[in-house]
C-alpha cells in the first residue's frame, strides 16, 4: 500500500471511531489534565510520574506527549483515572503511552472506566494497585440507544478495536466482554479477569 493510501486509511478509521463515544456520564468532569508529580516511595534515581485524570478527549494524546517530552529521558509512570470519553482519543492516548514506554497504574481508589481501558492498554507495564477497571459497550455519540447507528459501522469499529487490543498485547476477548454490557451499566473486572484478559502484565 502506498504511503498516501495508508494515510487516508488511518484517517478513515479515525473518522469512524470518532463517531462513537465510550464513557460513563459524569456531567461535571473536565477534559483530562496532566501534571508532573514526585514519585511515590522512591529513593535514589526515580522515574518521572504524571498524574492523568479527567475525561479523555481528542487532544489528550498531544497534551500527554507535551509533558512527557519535558521529562525525558527519565522513565515515565502514569497514574491514570478517568470515566472514559472519546473512543478514538483513548486509542491515541494509549499509543502515546506506548511511544514513551510508560508504566501505567490505576492506583488506590482510582477508577478507569469505559474508553479509559483502551488508553490503559498502551502502558508497556500495566498495574492495578487498589483501583478498579470497568468496561461497557460503546455507542454512537449523542445517541440514546445502540439502534441509532448502522450495524455495519458498529462491526467495523469492533474490528478496529480488536486489532488495537491485540497489538497492545491484551486478549481480544476484552471486546466481547465490553460489548456484552449495555451503558450506563459498568462491569468492573476482578483480579482473575484482569489477568486472563492480559489487561495487567
Question: What order of strands is seen across the sheet that includes strand 76-81?
Answer: 33-37, 48-53, 76-81, 103-106, 125-128
pLDDT at residue 147 in the model: 55
SS3 category, 113: strand
pLDDT at residue 46 in the model: 76
- Residues 79 and 47: their CA atoms lie apart, in Å, by 12
Among residues 43, 61, 44, which one has the least CA distance to residue 52? 61
pLDDT at residue 20 in the model: 55
Tens of pLDDT along the chain (201 residues) come to: 444 444 334 444 455 555 555 555 454 568 999 999 877 667 666 778 999 999 999 999 999 999 999 998 889 999 999 999 999 899 999 999 999 999 999 999 999 999 999 999 999 999 999 999 999 998 765 555 555 567 887 888 899 999 999 999 999 999 999 999 998 899 999 999 999 999 999
Length of the chain: 201
Handedness of CA 69, 55, 101, 88 (dihedral sign): negative
| Structural domains in the chain, sorted by start | 3-196 (3.90.226.10)
Amino acid at each position: 500500500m502506498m504511503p498516501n493510501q495508508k494515510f487516508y486509511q488511518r484517517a478513515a478509521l479515525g473518522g469512524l471511531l470518532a463517531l462513537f463515544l465510550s464513557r460513563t456520564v459524569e456531567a461535571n468532569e473536565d477534559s483530562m489534565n496532566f501534571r508532573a508529580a514526585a514519585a511515590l516511595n522512591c529513593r535514589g534515581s526515580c522515574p518521572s510520574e504524571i498524574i492523568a485524570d479527567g475525561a479523555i478527549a481528542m487532544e489528550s494524546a498531544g497534551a500527554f506527549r507535551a509533558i512527557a517530552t519535558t521529562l525525558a529521558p527519565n522513565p515515565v509512570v502514569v497514574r491514570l483515572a478517568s470515566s472514559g470519553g472519546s473512543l478514538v482519543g483513548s486509542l491515541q492516548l494509549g499509543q502515546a503511552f506506548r511511544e514513551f514506554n510508560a508504566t501505567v497504574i490505576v492506583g488506590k481508589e482510582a477508577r478507569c472506566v469505559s474508553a479509559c481501558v483502551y488508553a490503559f492498554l498502551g502502558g508497556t507495564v500495566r498495574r492495578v494497585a487498589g483501583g478498579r477497571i470497568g468496561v461497557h459497550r460503546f455507542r454512537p455519540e449523542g445517541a440514546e440507544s445502540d439502534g441509532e447507528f448502522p450495524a455495519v459501522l458498529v462491526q467495523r469499529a469492533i474490528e478496529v478495536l480488536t486489532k488495537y487490543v491485540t497489538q497492545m498485547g491484551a486478549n481480544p476477548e476484552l471486546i466481547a466482554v465490553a460489548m456484552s454490557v449495555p451503558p450506563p451499566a459498568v462491569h468492573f473486572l476482578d483480579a482473575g479477569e484482569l489477568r486472563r484478559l492480559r489487561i495487567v502484565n
